[in-house]
A and B are shown apart, each in its own frame.
Chain A
Amino acid sequence: KQEVTQIPAALSVPEGENLVLNCSFTDSAIYNLQWFRQDPGKGLTSLLLIQSSQREQTSGRLNASLDKSSGRSTLYIAASQPGDSATYLCAVSSGYSTLTFGKGTMLLVSP
C-alpha cells in the first residue's frame, strides 16, 4: 500500500526566503507525482505535475523535483511571499485513477 509523508508538517518563514518542502513515498512504482495548494476551507489547486520519466518541473517561482528510485520529491519556492501562505499537498499516482495524498505542509509567510 502506497504511503506518502510530508515534512515538515508546518513551516513559518519571513517574506523573501527561499524554502523547500519535502515529500516521500514508499512505493516507487508511480505514474506521476503532483503538488497541490489548498487555501483554508477551499478546494485544491494543481501547481505542478511530474511524470515518472521526468526529473523536475518549473512554474514561475516554483520548482518540483522527483527522484523516483529513492521515493522523494521536493517543492522549492523561491522568494516567498505572504500570498504563498497555504497548505501544500503532495500526491502520487500509483494505480489506475488513484491518487495517494500526504497530509500536507502548512506554510505561513510573514511580511
Chain B
Amino acid sequence: SQTIHQWPATLVQPVGSPLSLECTVEGTSNPNLYWYRQAAGRGLQLLFYSVGIGQISSEVPQNLSASRPQDRQFILSSKKLLLSDSGFYLCAWSFGSTDTQYFGPGTRLTVL
C-alpha cells in the first residue's frame, strides 16, 4: 500500500528566515505530486505540481519554490519567509492527472 509522509508537523519561523518542507511517498512509482496551502478562512490553494523528476509547474506567483530531486520526494522551499506564508501546507500524490489525490498529514507553518 502507498503512504505519504510530511515533515515537520509544525514549524514556527521568523520573518526573513529560509524554509524547507519535505514530502515523500512510499509504495508507488512515478506519482504526480502536489503542494497545497490552506490559509485561515480560505480554501485549499494549489501551489505546485509535478509529473516527474525535475518537472515543476507553478500555479500562482509567490515567495515559494518547489523541487523534485527524486521520484518520490517533493520539497517546498523559500529563501525568505513572509508573514503571509503562514498556513497549513499539504502534500498530495495521485496515479494520474485526473485520479483521486491522496493527502499527507500536513505541516502547520507559523511565521512571526
Interface locus among A11-19, A71-79, A99-107: A99-107
Give every chain A residue within 8 A of B46 (Cβ-Cβ).
Answer: 98-99
Cα separation A42 to B102 with both chains bound (whole Å): 13
| Main DSSP-derived SS at the B contact region | strand
Give every chain B residue within 8 A of A93 (Cβ-Cβ).
Answer: 97-98
Is A89 close to B, CB under 8 A?
yes
Residues in B lying within 8 Å of A, measured CB to CB: 32, 34, 41-46, 49, 51, 57, 59, 88, 90, 92, 94, 97-106, 108
Other than the given A44-B103, A103-B43, 10 more pairs (CB < 8 A) read A31-B98, A41-B108, A42-B105, A43-B103, A43-B104, A44-B92, A46-B102, A89-B43, A98-B49, A102-B43
Please report the total number of A residues contacting B with Cβ < 8 Å: 23
Give every chain A residue within 8 A of B59 (Cβ-Cβ).
Answer: 98
Give every chain B residue within 8 A of A45 (Cβ-Cβ).
Answer: 103
Is A4 close to B, CB under 8 A?
yes
Cα separation A42 to B104 with both chains bound (whole Å): 8
Docked-complex contact B43 and A97, CB < 8 angstroms: no
- The B-contacting residues of A in range 62-93, CB under 8 angstroms, are 89, 91, 93
A30's nearest neighbour on chain B, judged by CB, is B98
A52's nearest neighbour on chain B, judged by CB, is B98
- The B-contacting residues of A in range 7-59, CB under 8 angstroms, are 31-32, 34, 36, 41-46, 49
Q: Which of A4, A41, A43, A96 contacts B43 (CB 8 A)?
A: A4
Question: Shortest beta-carbon distance, A54 to chain B, in Å?
Answer: 13
Docked-complex contact B49 and A49, CB < 8 angstroms: no
Cα separation A41 to B88 with both chains bound (whole Å): 8
Docked-complex contact B100 and A89, CB < 8 angstroms: no
Give every chain B residue within 8 A of A31 (Cβ-Cβ).
Answer: 98
Cα separation A32 to B49 with both chains bound (whole Å): 18
Give every chain A residue within 8 A of B94 (Cβ-Cβ).
Answer: 97
Docked-complex contact A101 and B43, CB < 8 angstroms: yes
